[in-house]
């Protein structure tokens, strides 16, 4: 079976969850299923690294016929076989939603960025950056593809910004899935001007792309006024980057529109009012099952 390049990059993002230590990354799944590593089309096993005090940050780099793929792992999911310390520190990092003035900090991000994601990027890039350099030297002149899911999708823009500085002459393509927001409007404006080929895919009632939560979302979910007031200081204005491609329940893609955000928030609120609403929202974030919305999406070639 033939898969589009975008669906293969989704599989690469899924493959990043298999990183265990520094070295070749084990494959996930068997056969040609969309979630299997075999769907990516690696020309050799990708090389992965872990970073952070509990290895809660991870990414891989590898080569496919179209170019070089850098995939960032999402937040470690809780469950059997996972290191509890890694899970706790990883999720804790996601909640450090204070915006950091990053202009004076390496590698010179514009505007303000999410403190937790910034720390994760800096820890990870100290090891992933040299690995990427080795692959770029082995395959000179190739397009750089950046991908990731969830937390990995949030860190994709930070990786792409650094790649633009390190490899100004190479094409950079970003395809993020279910990524949280990573910076303010100043960051988003500068990023979108510098990285013009970034499509972010968001599906159904997945709530993660709305996080850190805008005060309007918190209010819509029925938070007390005091909580909303406090969030105005914690979240002074996150903004999304790239171009939105929203995946509907029927697997088709629609572009952003003035009414789409409000409708999506209304749908999430309505889902939470049902008995199985939380389970539905959690399921919308999944990329591991062949029946998941992100996997079934009708991605372009």
Question: Could you report the per-residue pLDDT of 109-147, keeping only the tens digit for each?
Answer: 999 998 889 989 999 999 999 999 999 999 999 999 999
Residue 17 has pLDDT above 80, yes or no: yes
C-alpha 248/C-alpha 171 separation (Å) is 30
Of 28, 50, 49, the closest CA to residue 40 belongs to 28
Residue-range definition of the domain harbouring residue 47? 5-296
Of 202, 188, 233, the closest CA to residue 97 belongs to 233
- How many distinct structural domains can be found in the chain? 1
Mean pLDDT, residues 245-257 = 95
Residue 297 has pLDDT above 60, yes or no: yes
Residue 59 has pLDDT above 90, yes or no: yes
- Main-chain dihedrals φ then ψ at residue 138, nearest 5 degrees: -80, -30
pLDDT above 90 covers a percentage of the chain that reads 59
234 CB-side CA count, 13 A = 15
Mean pLDDT, residues 246-264 = 93
Identify whether the C-beta of residue 97 lies closer than 8 Å to the C-beta of residue 114: yes
Domain-embedded: residue 19: yes
| pLDDT recorded at residue 81 | 53
**Residue 92 has which token pair?**
């804790």
Domain-embedded: residue 301: no
- Per-residue pLDDT of 142-172, as tens digits, reads 999 999 999 999 999 999 999 999 999 999 9
Domain-embedded: residue 186: yes
Mean pLDDT, rounded, of the chain: 85
Domain-embedded: residue 127: yes
Longest dimension (CA), the chain: 56
| pLDDT recorded at residue 222 | 56
86: confidence class by pLDDT, cuts 50, 70, 90: very low
pLDDT above 70 covers a percentage of the chain that reads 80
Of 141, 287, 143, 136, the closest CA to residue 201 belongs to 287
78: confidence class by pLDDT, cuts 50, 70, 90: very low
**Residue 285 has which token pair?**
């974030």
Find residue 173's DSSP bridge partners.
Answer: 145
What is the DSSP pairing of strand 172-177 with strand 143-149?
A: parallel
Domain-embedded: residue 33: yes
- Per-residue pLDDT of 196-206, as tens digits, reads 999 999 999 99
Residue 189 has pLDDT above 50, yes or no: yes
CATH number of the domain within which 282 lies: 3.40.50.1820
C-alpha 213/C-alpha 232 separation (Å) is 10
Q: Which of 47-51, 81-85, 234-238, 242-246 has the lowest mean pLDDT?
A: 81-85
- Per-residue pLDDT of 2-13, as tens digits, reads 789 999 999 999
| pLDDT recorded at residue 269 | 82
C-alpha 36/C-alpha 247 separation (Å) is 21
Mean pLDDT, residues 31-41 = 79
Domain-embedded: residue 256: yes
Residue 94 has pLDDT above 70, yes or no: no
């Amino acid at each position: 079976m033939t898969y589009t390049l975008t669906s293969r990059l989704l599989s690469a993002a899924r493959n990043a969850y298999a990183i265990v230590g520094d070295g070749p990354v084990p494959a996930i799944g068997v056969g040609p299923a969309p979630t299997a590593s075999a769907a990516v089309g690696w020309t050799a096993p990708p090389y992965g690294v872990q970073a952070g005090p509990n290895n809660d940050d991870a990414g891989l780099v590898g080569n496919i016929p179209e170019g070089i793929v850098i995939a960032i792992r999402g937040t470690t999911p809780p469950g059997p076989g996972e290191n509890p310390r890694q899970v706790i520190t990883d999720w804790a990092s996601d909640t450090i939603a204070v915006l950091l003035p990053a202009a004076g900090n390496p590698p010179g991000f514009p505007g303000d960025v999410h403190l937790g994601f910034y720390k994760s990027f800096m820890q990870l890039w100290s090891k992933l950056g040299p690995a990427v350099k080795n692959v770029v030297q082995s395959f000179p002149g190739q397009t750089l593809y950046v991908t990731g899911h969830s937390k990995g999708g949030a860190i994709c823009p930070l990786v792409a910004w650094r790649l633009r500085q390190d490899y100004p002459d190479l094409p950079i393509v970003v395809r993020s899935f279910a990524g949280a927001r990573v910076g303010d409007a100043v960051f988003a404006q500068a990023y979108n001007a510098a990285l013009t080929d970034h499509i972010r895919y968001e599906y159904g009632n997945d709530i993660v792309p709305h996080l850190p939560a805008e005060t309007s979302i918190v209010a819509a979910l029925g938070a007390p006024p005091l909580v909303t007031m406090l969030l105005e200081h914690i979240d002074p204005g996150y903004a999304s980057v790239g171009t939105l491609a929203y995946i509907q329940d029927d697997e088709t893609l629609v572009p952003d529109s003035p009414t789409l955000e409000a409708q999506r928030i209304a749908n999430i609120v309505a889902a939470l009012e049902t008995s199985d609403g939380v389970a539905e929202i959690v399921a919308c974030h999944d990329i591991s099952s062949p029946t998941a919305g992100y996997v079934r999406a009708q991605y372009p070639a």
